[in-house]
Structure 1
Amino acid sequence: MHLRSIAPLAAALALTVVTPVFAQEPPAVTSPDGRLRMTFTLKQGKEAREGTGALVYSVTFKGKSVLNESALGLDLDPGPMLGADVRVAGAEPSSGVDDYSLRNTKTSKVHDPYNAVVVHSVEAAGIHRKLDVEARAYNSGIAFRYLLPAQEGLSDLKLKSEGTEFRFAEDDTAWVLALPNYRSSYESEYVRLNLSALSNQGGVSSNFLIGTPVLLHQPGVAWLSLMEADLETNSSMYLTNPSGNWAGHLLSVKLSPRWDDQQYAVLGTLPHHSAWRVLGVADEPGSLVESNLLTDLNPPSRVTDTSWIHGGKASWNWWVDNVSKTGHSAFTTEVMKEYIDFSAANGLSYFMLDAGWSKSGDITQLNGKVDVPELVRYGATKNVKVWIWLYSTSVMKQMQEAFPLYEKWGVAGLKIDFVNRDDQQGIQFYYDVAKLAAEHHIMVDFHGCHTPWGLLRTYPNVLSYEAVLGLENNKVGRRDSPVDRTAFASTRLMAGPMDFTAGAFDNATEDKFVARNEAPMAMGTRAQQLALYVIYETPFPMLSDSPQNYTNQPGFQFLKDVPVEWDETRVLSSTPGEEAVIARRHGDEWYLGAMTNWQARTLQVPLSFLGNGRYTAQTYEDAQDAATEPKHLNISSRQVSGKEALSLRLAPGGGAAIRFKKEK
């Protein structure tokens, strides 16, 4: 059963006998495999009336506590925190299976069974407001959300904040994305700190504003993730540790405030449901990346005909500053045609035309330097389609006029940049763009944006997101390094598609790297850049370097061969900030990517994921001298089977990329 709105729920309750609670035991929900359990109770204060109290929940994994009693509640205007003093009126258990297909992502088919419960509570005093909590337990995690049914005395929704807590049983190690405010691009390092360090630094009270996803480790118990799903009509969730002391092992929810009235996070009418709060739980961090919880918890596709939606690799003019085949920079229609020629010659589906083609502030007018309709026409003769860059503020003002125009021109997709907001209106912008773009057969890649939340299931024309400290940072500084890349494979990647814009072929050691805008280079080996096309999930990857830097270069063949969508994903090894090994299947072929931080290491990789049969392994790995000559590759081919293991020797900042072709 998919509870997508309050109205279907109300109809169902009219025919359902609601289970009375606390007659025998508190309401709870357990995962199908029995390992995860979420329990709801009432926490009574000193002056609580009998049968009333604060609604709280707890979570166990394999019988061990993961979350201790944690508060639930909504701070509505007017009135006190709804959930702080309630009685439980009943609980409605159910079960179901999320069974659906996906395109352009890490898996093509999903089959996730779950058990569910809706807990009904009523305020003990005042006007007796009603609050329901819907929870689901999957084998890979727990999700819950608030349901506010239509009710007497409460017609308008004025949500100031949430009272949701995550009180961890231990001082878990956390990898967190600390953000400066509610108006960022989610582009920073994931920092490793214990929960207590998030509220007490230097012996004084302090705190961080933390974006999602968050990765946590409770040694000896579980690896955990915190994310959100199905944000429509809602504001985005941030987290903070408000305890102010070294004994507070918790995170609490902060909602991004509206731009027009910052005392509120969400305005609307009832009935209403919040976004899902998603707690992934697993034995290993890689299982959190494999999980499909975010798409499970989003509505099915609203795009009836998806035949026009295709992932594909793209040449790109921006990272290399519009360099032409003469070696000089020139932002002209003729030079952009050179990038289309490069795409056509190497089997790339797209060319990504970046900023500067439109007149300032008007995304329907050309600037005289680059003729987009002419580029689209030229690309059509080469079987290459064109994407164009847009500034988000201009899209907000002009999309009703611009999107039909782009469809008329024949533009394939839009890269919409500098969104930098995820308040209620900002989140609605993502949905408005996705819907209108789909109506005009246009795909979308969001940059300067919030991390994904499973929207690709509802609007499969939204192919990718940035929300990562990407390759572009090499143009101005040293923030993109192999350490961060290995961290992203266990953190940011949990949320879904990630347009890191890989593909640098001017590779440098840590000591010899120089940040520069023209002819940029990147730290780490070439083999690691190849590996990123397997490790990082995106159906719209850039080949970010210049066409000249790829011509006749070792390793370029792998970039031409590697697919952009996958039928299956296996995380074989993952240690945040240290190393990652991920295998992905496309049809009957497998691809593997491996990378390390600045520490050289040898990895033993079992090939059991291959199953039966024999394969030819085409391997691109660090050469013997890659520690000092990072462009050097060792390219080899050998026959292998699933009964074997490969030994991969990775240089500092190194990697390996392998294509497994099944023998007939």
Structure 2
Amino acid sequence: MTDATETKQIICEQGKFFGRLIVRRKLRNILLFLFFFTCTSGFFSVAARPVRVSSPNNCIQVELHEQEELGGWILRVNYMDSGRTVLVIPKITLGLSRSDQDFSSELKFLKVGKSRLVNERYIAIHGKRSQCSNQANEVVVSFENPSKAKMNLIVRAYNDGITFRYEFPEKEGTFVVKDEFTAYAIPDSTVRWLTKFNPANEGLYSAQTNGNEQNDWGYPALFNTPDKACWYLIHEADLDRSYCGTKLTNFGEKTKYKLTFPDKWNGREKGETQPTIMLPWKSPWRVIIVGTLADIVESTLVDDVSAPSTVAKTDWVQPGKASWNYWSDNHGTRSYKTVCAFADLAASMGWPYTLLDWEWDAMTDGGNLEDALKYIHSVGVKPLIWYNSGGEHTWVNATPKDRMLTHENRMEEFAKLKKLGIYGVKVDFFESEKQDMINYYIDILEDAAKFEIMVYFHGCLVPRGWARTYPHLMTYEGVRGAEWYNNGSEFTSTAPEHNAILPFTRNVVGSMDYTPVTFTNSQYPHITSYGHELALSVLFESGIQHWADRPEGYYNLPDAAKNFLREVPNAWDDTKFLDGLPGKDVILARRKGAIWYVGGINSEIRRDKNKALKFNFLPKGGKYRLTLIADGEYDTEFSTRYLVVDNNSEIVVKMLRRGGFAASLKPIN
């Protein structure tokens, strides 16, 4: 029995005793009312002004209030910090506008349903945690507008955040959603980490202290309350065919971040900007992860609230590491010899996969695609292959362009790939989050599953919880990754800070194909240390982790670092945040089976850092053999130590400027 359950039972028993006393004093009706609400996990007033629902651990509370002067409704989010209540978000504006009528003002409260405990467990094949729990207190609040049309608001309070969604419960009808009025009021002096929206979601994050910069902002967005007591991350989840992706916009009111539909120009103006819905209908979940930085980083809330897996048999879904030739040679797949060299790299390092990126259909230099596939299989490696998403929504003409575009194309192509022994497809250049493009993403996933082919997306949206619904969706780009060392000189200087922001933002919400861990240089150099690069193998989570460097970049490593990259997993049983601040530094520990791995980086441009590394995340009573691979005297040198540690141990690790470290902890039997 959990502490929260025991507390709830004690409260309920006290309420029963108190109710009997008052009944004797002839106040039976009043106290029965109080008793009813004492025994529920949330508190609701009779007129739902306000409606309150609390998380199972009572640390997070969301309230529904009526804005009487406007005739609308808002949510307010609170967080309990060391016994005091912190106002996290003072106002979340609610409402929708449909092509037939409005559901934002003059909404009449009808009822609030009985509080329901959502309590389910599921297994994640890849991600930051394998054993996941979807547990929350939920209420459904019912409204009607002046024309008597109904709208429900479904609200959940989790131990690590709150979620809400809209519902039209009527059984029939097709309408266009003209606008969604969900908007988050963020007071100035709130520190925020935001990225300017673009359809490829490959921007940098910038730290801001107010809303003076007005723009379209991408998900997820990270905030720290003015009193520094609470952090929260705003996102959305369980996006399906019935809606479009949204972004945040603070044009007009600088402190009001409103959900906004895609722009007309996205996807070369193909597709409608406003979604068409069929009743009954539920919107995607609006997600706010709330708490400490550890709560943010360790959360699986985006996946938790998303639909369960649609794939019954999943033994063919195999996370793993892949060699990737594009970073070091943009035209690498055009060369049969290069493809073979990267297959040899994967075989030598024990990585299961190698990726054939663009231009595989133009391969020469000693062999063609069939020759390359034969060689890859002969060395015990599994091939993955790239495709252009095709169609008029993308300006990129790289071939093959149209083989993923229609159901007939896909069924024919996937049948060929299955016969050729290809295990996964990378589909690129979507360039839109309009409803038609959301349908296209899901079409690819559903058709690929029929042939047991894994999928990952590039030039794409950021995760919306689909990895739970479609577990063969291994990763997404949706990030400014190492590829940007090929796009210009800017990433050389911005990467260290950027890398220390991503574990608190983009990688929180799902797998991230950053293509990390490079020791040589691409078209533009990097200034991160070797220790920093090695640490990214732990810090950055991706269901298929593409190591981007050329073969000699790995072959020339010292044995300890080389063995670390052979052994480090990329799908995890648990994740722990140990230390750090966005853009400054970060240390994470991740577990696979009984073995723990730790990665830490320093983003400071000029200053070395000494960090105390505590091992209190280890089980008590056990001894572990620590292999610590840290920065040496200069950027391209490692310093390796071997120690025996336990739960009470603590060591100091030095990180150079732009430096880092990686470590493994293996139990001593």
* Partner Cα separation in structure 2 for residue 24 and residue 351 of structure 1: 57
The answer for the alignment partner of 1:604 in structure 2 is 612
Q: Alignment partner for residue 111 of structure 1, among 133, 139, 143?
A: 133
Would the aligned equivalents of 1:172 and 1:217 in 2 still touch at CA under 8 Å? yes
* Partner Cα separation in structure 1 for residue 554 and residue 96 of structure 2: 55
1:409 Cα offset (Å): 1.3
* 1:249-398 matched pairs, under 5 angstroms: 249-256=255-262, 264-283=273-292, 285-321=293-329, 331-358=334-361, 371-393=368-390, 394=402, 395-397=404-406, 398=409
Matched to 2:78, the amino acid is T
Matched to 1:373, the amino acid is E
The answer for the alignment partner of 1:61 in structure 2 is 79
* Partner Cα separation in structure 2 for residue 462 and residue 210 of structure 1: 25
Matched to 1:187, the amino acid is E
Instruction: Write the deviation string for residues 220-259 of structure 1: whole angstroms up to 9, x where unpaired.
Output: 4310100010000211121112344xxx532111122577
User: Is residue 630 of structure 2 the alignment partner of residue 618 of structure 1?
Assistant: no
SS of 2:217 mapped into structure 1: strand
* Partner Cα separation in structure 1 for residue 48 and residue 278 of structure 2: 36
SS of 1:559 mapped into structure 2: helix
* 1:113-192 matched pairs, under 5 angstroms: 113-123=135-145, 125=146, 127-150=147-170, 155-168=173-186, 171-180=189-198, 184-192=199-207
* Partner Cα separation in structure 2 for residue 442 and residue 32 of structure 1: 39
Matched to 2:485, the amino acid is N
Q: Go from structure 1 to structure 2 and tell me whether the alpha carbon gap of 1:548 and 1:111 turns closer, same or farther (over 3 Å shift).
A: same
* 1:448-527 matched pairs, under 5 angstroms: 448-475=459-486, 476-480=488-492, 481-506=495-520, 517=523, 521-527=525-531
Which protein has the bigger helix share? 2
Any stretches of 5+ residues in structure 2 without a counterpart? 1-42, 391-401
Would the aligned equivalents of 2:218 and 2:247 in 1 still touch at CA under 8 Å? yes
Which of 435-444 and 249-258 deviates more? 249-258
1:171 Cα offset (Å): 3.5
Q: Go from structure 1 to structure 2 and tell me whether the alpha carbon gap of 1:161 and 1:319 turns closer, same or farther (over 3 Å shift).
A: same
* Partner Cα separation in structure 1 for residue 542 and residue 536 of structure 2: 10
Instruction: Write the deviation string for residues 558-617 of structure 1: whole angstroms up to 9, x where unpaired.
Output: 111111111000011121111000000010000000001123211111100112211111
* Partner Cα separation in structure 2 for residue 657 and residue 332 of structure 1: 34
SS of 1:106 mapped into structure 2: coil
* Partner Cα separation in structure 2 for residue 263 and residue 557 of structure 1: 51
Would the aligned equivalents of 2:477 and 2:512 in 1 still touch at CA under 8 Å? yes
Would the aligned equivalents of 2:187 and 2:210 in 1 still touch at CA under 8 Å? no
The answer for the alignment partner of 1:13 in structure 2 is none
Would the aligned equivalents of 1:185 and 1:449 in 2 still touch at CA under 8 Å? yes
User: Is residue 585 of structure 2 the alignment partner of residue 579 of structure 1?
Assistant: yes
User: Is residue 547 of structure 2 the alignment partner of residue 543 of structure 1?
Assistant: yes
The answer for the alignment partner of 1:194 in structure 2 is 209
1:425 Cα offset (Å): 1.2
SS of 1:479 mapped into structure 2: helix
Q: Alignment partner for residue 659 of structure 1, among 643, 661, 664?
A: 664
The answer for the alignment partner of 1:96 in structure 2 is 118
* Partner Cα separation in structure 2 for residue 56 and residue 22 of structure 1: 18
Would the aligned equivalents of 1:20 and 1:90 in 2 still touch at CA under 8 Å? no
Would the aligned equivalents of 1:484 and 1:577 in 2 still touch at CA under 8 Å? yes
1:105 Cα offset (Å): 1.1
Would the aligned equivalents of 1:506 and 1:631 in 2 still touch at CA under 8 Å? no
1:172 Cα offset (Å): 1.2
1:144 Cα offset (Å): 0.4
* Partner Cα separation in structure 2 for residue 523 and residue 286 of structure 1: 28
Q: Alignment partner for residue 103 of structure 2, among 56, 65, 82?
A: 82
SS of 2:303 mapped into structure 1: helix
What percent identity do the matched residue pairs reach? 27
* Partner Cα separation in structure 2 for residue 631 and residue 97 of structure 1: 49
Instruction: Write the deviation string for residues 110-140 of structure 1: whole angstroms up to 9, x where unpaired.
Output: 12421001111000x2x32211111110000
Would the aligned equivalents of 1:331 and 1:370 in 2 still touch at CA under 8 Å? no
* Partner Cα separation in structure 2 for residue 435 and residue 262 of structure 1: 21
TM-score, scaled relative to structure 1: 0.86
User: Is residue 66 of structure 2 the alignment partner of residue 42 of structure 1?
Assistant: yes
* Partner Cα separation in structure 1 for residue 220 and residue 541 of structure 2: 16
Q: Give RMSD over aligned pairs.
A: 2.2
Instruction: Write the deviation string for residues 350-378 of structure 1: whole angstroms up to 9, x where unpaired.
Output: 1111100126xxxxxx8898633333333
Q: Go from structure 1 to structure 2 and tell me whether the alpha carbon gap of 1:384 and 1:611 turns closer, same or farther (over 3 Å shift).
A: same
Instruction: Write the deviation string for residues 383-415 of structure 1: whole angstroms up to 9, x where unpaired.
Output: 210001111113224323212221121111111
Matched to 1:43, the amino acid is Q
Q: Go from structure 1 to structure 2 and tell me whether the alpha carbon gap of 1:210 and 1:370 turns closer, same or farther (over 3 Å shift).
A: farther
1:431 Cα offset (Å): 1.2
Q: Go from structure 1 to structure 2 and tell me whether the alpha carbon gap of 1:35 and 1:343 turns closer, same or farther (over 3 Å shift).
A: same
1:522 Cα offset (Å): 2.2
Instruction: Write the deviation string for residues 240-279 of structure 1: whole angstroms up to 9, x where unpaired.
Output: 12344xxx53211112257778775211311111111001
The answer for the alignment partner of 1:531 in structure 2 is 535
The answer for the alignment partner of 1:208 in structure 2 is 215
Q: Go from structure 1 to structure 2 and tell me whether the alpha carbon gap of 1:20 and 1:572 turns closer, same or farther (over 3 Å shift).
A: closer
1:537 Cα offset (Å): 0.6
Would the aligned equivalents of 1:241 and 1:252 in 2 still touch at CA under 8 Å? yes
Aligned residues: 595
Would the aligned equivalents of 1:489 and 1:574 in 2 still touch at CA under 8 Å? no
Matched to 1:188, the amino acid is G
Would the aligned equivalents of 2:476 and 2:511 in 1 still touch at CA under 8 Å? yes
Q: Go from structure 1 to structure 2 and tell me whether the alpha carbon gap of 1:83 and 1:412 turns closer, same or farther (over 3 Å shift).
A: same
Would the aligned equivalents of 1:21 and 1:90 in 2 still touch at CA under 8 Å? no
Would the aligned equivalents of 2:176 and 2:277 in 1 still touch at CA under 8 Å? yes
* Partner Cα separation in structure 1 for residue 170 and residue 423 of structure 2: 42
Q: Go from structure 1 to structure 2 and tell me whether the alpha carbon gap of 1:421 and 1:263 turns closer, same or farther (over 3 Å shift).
A: closer
Q: Alignment partner for residue 72 of structure 1, among 94, 113, 137?
A: 94
SS of 1:39 mapped into structure 2: strand
Instruction: Write the deviation string for residues 291-324 of structure 1: whole angstroms up to 9, x where unpaired.
Output: 111111111111111111111111111111179x
* Partner Cα separation in structure 2 for residue 24 and residue 317 of structure 1: 59
User: Is residue 431 of structure 2 the alignment partner of residue 417 of structure 1?
Assistant: no
The answer for the alignment partner of 1:50 in structure 2 is none
1:197 Cα offset (Å): 1.9
Would the aligned equivalents of 1:463 and 1:538 in 2 still touch at CA under 8 Å? yes
Would the aligned equivalents of 2:188 and 2:211 in 1 still touch at CA under 8 Å? no
Would the aligned equivalents of 1:159 and 1:264 in 2 still touch at CA under 8 Å? no
* Partner Cα separation in structure 2 for residue 368 and residue 400 of structure 1: 31
Matched to 2:77, the amino acid is V
Matched to 2:526, the amino acid is A
SS of 2:563 mapped into structure 1: helix
Would the aligned equivalents of 2:238 and 2:305 in 1 still touch at CA under 8 Å? yes
Matched to 1:72, the amino acid is L
